[in-house]
Amino acid sequence: MVTLPELHFVMVPHLAQGHIIPMVDVARLIAARGPRVTVVTTPVNAARNRATVDGARRAGLPLDLVELPLSGPQHGLPEGIETVDQLTGHELGMFLSFFHATWNLAGPLEEYIRALPRLPVCLVADMCNPWTAAVCERLGIPRLVMHCPSAYFQLAVNCLTAHGVYDRVDEMEPFEVPGFPVRAVGTKATFRGFFQYPGVEKEYRDTIDAETTADGLLFNTFRGIEGTFLDAYAAALGKKTWAVGPTCASSTMADDADSKAGRGKPADVDAGHIVSWLDARPPASVLYVSFGSISQLTAKQFAKLARGLEASGQPFVWAIKEAKADAAVRALLDEEGFEARVKDRALLVRGWAPQVTILSHPAVGGFLTHCGWNGTLETLSLGVPTLTWPTIADQFCSEQLLVDVLGVGVRSGAKLPTWYLPTEAEGVQVESGDVEKAVAELMGDTPEAATRRSRAKELAAKARTAMEEGGSSYSDLTDMIRYVSELSTKRSFVIDAMPFAAAELGSNK
């Protein structure tokens, strides 16, 4: 007789902050339902997330973090790079080299799983980890792919590919996305899928194949904002698809001050200091500014943004990761006197900011964001309207969702990915005056601004409801756990009927 396998999930995030954060969140949510969950990552990433995982363990959740070495061919990268934000350049080639280097984890992952007393019930792999497909196939483990961008983005890319649009338009030629549930206009430059670049056709095929052969797809989103896009994507791929977010809106996360403040890695500033600073400000008066973990502006564009924020007269908190390594940025802040000039109404965070703590504060009334999907979900979950400034990848789609579909954003005017910017303009797309105008529009008292605010509050309430027991994301997570445990049991029957295979795998019974 076959016993039900122990419910043990292994999660394999891509090595980037915007991917590890939601994967650790999903790991916590699964563990909160009973299954044991192990997040497998490299030492640098494990160290960054250790406090969050330890906090969850102290709260009684069966959650572990396992470190695997990232050794092997470096593909031209400097030694010791274990996460995308450690890359010094942001050319596409660098990202690809890093992507290739992560394939070195396949061997250690397989060894780790083979050494377990029982096989996991399921492996959840980031879409950027197609190398996990062969590992799971060899071990006979169900595998889910987790998408870290929006369903809006994934569906748009799918529609453009299916209709052959990428093959027939020029890079900057505007087109309407065919077969899409809403009217969406873009260019190849702003609507490219991950790995849809000339020269990386094999990598692109690998990710598509790994998705096609997966047992289901997970999205960090909720049906209240993306139901139409999710259903269309599930239908296009013929796959079970679950929306289990926004993870940051679950009460386990929202009520845990420490994990909010140390999300992704410990903050470079005392969260208590920021909270006291915000406590002294009127409700909804402060603009929070952040470009996430990897997006960067050129030096000229950075200076224009600084001047625009200064001229706006608005109080702001600005998370400036560049202040750690970029001498030009430090010169602007220090020698050129920017920080001294704005110190009465601005707080500059040099490095990693406790973003969710900041966005949760009632004094924050707007978020100037690069539209990374996690930041987008955080601002939506917390009811904060946005000033959108996309820079790369799926961010242009998140901007459309925020501004055109959900009605909670104002555009900065950035139109091109940073890697397409003409050098003669030194990367400037948004002038200081545009920044000043957009900040006034977002934070002002017009009827349009009031509508955006109340719309944002409504969506935040929907996000929280989705994560509560009985909500759509709560139910999707329940369904996913049930589905993979049944699938795993069925596969156990098959393995049982194949004694040699079972012996080779190390039986999980």
Which CB atom, from 151 or from 294, has the smaller least distance to ligand UDP?
294
Per-residue x/- track, 373-412, ligand UDP (CB under 6 A): xxx--x----------------------------------
Which CB atom, from 263 or from 411, has the smaller least distance to ligand UDP?
263
Joined tokens for residue 225: 């904002």
CB of 4 to ligand UDP, least distance (A): 35
Strands (DSSP E) contained in 270-351 are: 286-290, 316-320, 346-350
CB of 491 to ligand UDP, least distance (A): 34
CB of 319 to ligand UDP, least distance (A): 4
19 given a catalytic annotation: yes
User: Which among 25, 126, 206, 256 is annotated as catalytic?
Assistant: 126
**Secondary structure percentages of the chain, helix, strand, coil, to 5:** 50, 15, 35
List, edge to edge, every strand of the sheet that includes 63-67.
63-67, 36-41, 8-12, 122-126, 143-147, 216-219, 241-243
Which CB atom, from 216 or from 246, has the smaller least distance to ligand UDP?
246
CB atoms within 10 A of CB 78: 9
Which CB atom, from 175 or from 389, has the smaller least distance to ligand UDP?
389
> Three-state SS across 41-99?
ECHHHHHHHHHHHHHHHHCCCCEEEEECCCCCCCCCCCCCCCCHHHCCCCCHHHHHHHH
Burial of residue 407, with CB atoms counted within 10 A of its CB: 0-12 exposed, 13-18 middle, 19 or more buried: middle
CB of 313 to ligand UDP, least distance (A): 24
Joined tokens for residue 507: 């039986």
Rounded Cα distance between 375 and 353, Å, is: 12
Per-residue x/- track, 302-321, ligand UDP (CB under 6 A): -----------------x--
Which residue in 156, 294, 363, 384 binds ligand UDP (CB under 6 A)?
Answer: 294
Phi-psi region of 457 (alpha: psi -120 to 50; beta: other; left: phi over 0): alpha
Which CB atom, from 112 or from 197, has the smaller least distance to ligand UDP?
197
Residues 15 to 74: which contact ligand UDP by CB under 6 A? 17-18, 21
Window of 49-57, 216-224, 281-289, 292-300 that interacts with ligand UDP by CB under 6 A: 292-300
Which residue in 140, 264, 308, 383 binds ligand UDP (CB under 6 A)?
Answer: 264
Per-residue x/- track, 341-380, ligand UDP (CB under 6 A): -----------xx-xx---------------xxxx--x--
Residues 319 to 338: which contact ligand UDP by CB under 6 A? 319
Residues 461 to 490: which contact ligand UDP by CB under 6 A? none
Window of 26-34, 278-286, 287-295, 483-491 that interacts with ligand UDP by CB under 6 A: 287-295
**150 forms part of the interface with ligand UDP (CB under 6 A):** no
Which CB atom, from 264 or from 365, has the smaller least distance to ligand UDP?
264
**245 forms part of the interface with ligand UDP (CB under 6 A):** no
**295 forms part of the interface with ligand UDP (CB under 6 A):** yes
User: Which among 19, 147, 361, 370 is annotated as catalytic?
Assistant: 19
CB of 421 to ligand UDP, least distance (A): 17
The backbone torsions φ and ψ at residue 29, rounded to the nearest 5 degrees and listed phi first, read -65, -40
Joined tokens for residue 248: 């940051």
3-state class of 319 per DSSP? strand
Which position has the token pair 């109340």? 454
User: What are the helix (H) ranges across 143-298?
Assistant: 151-162, 165-168, 201-212, 223-237, 251-254, 257-261, 271-279
Which CB atom, from 245 or from 292, has the smaller least distance to ligand UDP?
292
Which CB atom, from 5 or from 264, has the smaller least distance to ligand UDP?
264
Rounded Cα distance between 72 and 98, Å, is: 12
Which residue in 45, 290, 400, 472 binds ligand UDP (CB under 6 A)?
Answer: 290
Which CB atom, from 301 or from 355, has the smaller least distance to ligand UDP?
355
- For 166-171, which contacts have Cβ atoms below 8 Å and span 24 or more sequence positions? 166/192, 166/196, 171/420
Which position has the token pair 């209709």? 163
Beta-bridge partners for 8 = 36
Number of chain positions touching ligand UDP (CB under 6 A): 20
Window of 171-179, 184-192, 200-208, 291-299 that interacts with ligand UDP by CB under 6 A: 291-299
CB of 384 to ligand UDP, least distance (A): 12
DSSP tag of 335? T
The backbone torsions φ and ψ at residue 302, rounded to the nearest 5 degrees and listed phi first, read -60, -45
Residue type, 75: H
Torsion of CA 17, 21, 22, 25, to 10 degrees: 170
403 closest CA partner among 440, 435, 448: 448
**104 forms part of the interface with ligand UDP (CB under 6 A):** no
Which CB atom, from 139 or from 320, has the smaller least distance to ligand UDP?
320
**263 forms part of the interface with ligand UDP (CB under 6 A):** yes
3-state class of 371 per DSSP? coil
Do residues 241 and 217 lie in contact, with contact meaning Cβ atoms separated by under 8 Å? yes
Rounded Cα distance between 153 and 286, Å, is: 30
CB of 253 to ligand UDP, least distance (A): 11
Question: Under the rule (CB under 6 A), what is the footprint of ligand UDP?
Answer: 17-18, 21, 263-264, 290, 292-295, 319, 352-353, 355-356, 372-375, 378
Catalytic residue ranges:
19, 126
